[in-house]
Structure 1
Amino acid sequence: MSVRILANIPSPAQGVWHLGPLPLRGYALSILAGIVLAIIWSRRRYAARGGDPELILDVAIAAIPFGIIGGRLYHVLTDHEKYFGPGRNPWQALNITAGGLGIWGAVALGTLAGWVVVRRRKVPAAPVLDAVAPTIIAAQAIGRLGNWFNQELHGAETTLPWGLEIYERVDALGRLAPVTGHSTGQVLAVVHPTFLYELIWNLLVAAVLVWADRRFRLGGGRVFALYVAGYTLGRFWIELMRTDPATEVLGGLRINTVTSTVVFAAALLALYLLRGRRRESAAFVRGRSHDAGADRPLQPAPPPEQAMPEVGDRAGERPGAAGGDRAEAPEAPA
């Protein structure tokens, strides 16, 4: 008799814990852990480029709240039917504790807020973007654990050994509460853990960004453009696996699939336009020089026949030969 052992991934028994009257949400803690990692790592990367690491804190103070606002705006705009219309409560659009943050809006508005801070400090933005690029996608990877706590954004049912178990959760009154409730122990389904697929993909992209940055000494915003291209490439195929309800456009395509395609194309265009940009000098990073130094591609040396003659040369004569006199070669020793 053969025994088949499945190593399914269990979901947490609950996604919210209470410390007295204070609710501790796994979703929020995951995002917070990602933010802390991104700030610490970004400070080190920006300092290694010659920048002032304290600038990263100033950028974070502006980018984080605006990123949350942008993420919520994107979610509400693309899933507006959840909050507006007959039987809906529009005030729930402000309830971010229930989940619902779109990474597209978060990165867009957070980057814009950070750019304003950088401009006010009168330092170039490209080195900042290149420094934070791998840290952002690493933070996104950690943030995806929040979907695990909430039992959300998963794929179709599967028999693969790494399938994710979705539990029935109920509140204190026995009512179904998939996010805030406690597990009854009953498994409702075993599904593709698309949150895990994206988590692994994001970590791989972060590793590629670090390698490419060191290997090719990228600059001028190329690391950030590569981050956007890498993330959207993975998000495209992962989005095709998800089965949760989503706004559909263009005859049945999920809105995030279309967004991934458009943003990926824009990132490729940016990489093409920024081709050849190299790592900036430390003086340029700190805003003390208008010459980016190594941010421009190196110019090839002119061929020998085009090289300018040295001062004193005339028609191929060596320096020191005047008029028609030519320096005589020394006699060979007897």
Structure 2
Amino acid sequence: MSLLFNSYPLARSALFSLDAETAHELTLSSLQKAYDCRLTRGLMASRPEKPCRLMGLSFRNPIGLAAGLDKNGAHIDALGNLGFGFVEVGTVTPKPQPGNPKPRMFRLPRAEALINRLGFNNKGLDAFIANVRKSEWRNHGGILGLNIGKNAATPIERAVDDYLIGLEGVYPHADYVTVNISSPNTQNLRALQGQEELTGLLAPLQEKRKALADLHGRHVPMVVKIAPDLDIEQIDIIAALLPRYGVDGVIATNTTLSRESVRGLPHAGETGGLSGPPVHALSLRVIERLRGQLGIAFPIIGVGGVVSGKQAQEKTAAGANAIQLYTGLIYRGPALIGECVRALG
């Protein structure tokens, strides 16, 4: 285990003394600087191996980075160097947008949780693609997912236009594309999870993907990321629609609006999506229901509340084929990646 990985608890104390979003930006900047230096790059390198195949893709290991940490795809190689089998970046929108007003990210340390209402803050599709093109992660066997969403200013009834622009833009540069319809921080976005709305989104995306596959001579898997706050009927509707429209996999789940398990904690009343261990049980419920409805072969990526190898095991026991991390990294550091790979061994 790298000395730098083991020293993360000391770094965390300093980072947690800063505003959460400032600490987030400083961490990415520092990680990038360490990667750009050959000496520290080697000290940070980790390659835990547990090969698997999913959606026709070969993964070095089934532990990935969830979208949201690197919204602009500016740090793909540095993040991949920490030991991930796959890295997902975004969410990107067609046009640049600043997101919601600050402060918009809050720690709940007693629950090892975060609340964010960032609102798809990003530099837009052109800058995102430029960053992705510079990365070498895919050239060295890393799997890259590109996550697309809609601009806040785009009316929900025109959301499909933004997703089609996003799909066309990222398609040549992705190993898989994630359609994010579950962030709670873009007004009305979660309405796209309804039967009529999801049908109206997936049908044109399926047609566009077929045309792009013909144009580029390769099939790029498309997955949909859903919320943890769905009821059983909503989960079943989504499970019926995904294979009908050629969707290759599902990511379960995004952040939750529930505050049941953090009530009374400082910042628990902040609006936004709650992530970390409070989402774990909600995510398991969705994964279990999806697996029951979709059968054993349909790919499910589990995310939400994994802060130890034990939670990773519970995700796979519920039916997940692969796992993504985000909030657990903030509280545990990069050593969590290898711990999860070993737990699934």
The TM-score bracket by the shorter chain reads under 0.3
Higher fraction of helix: 1
Larger of the two Rg values belongs to structure? 1
Higher strand proportion, which one?
2
Q: So what's the TM-score if we normalise by structure 1?
A: 0.24
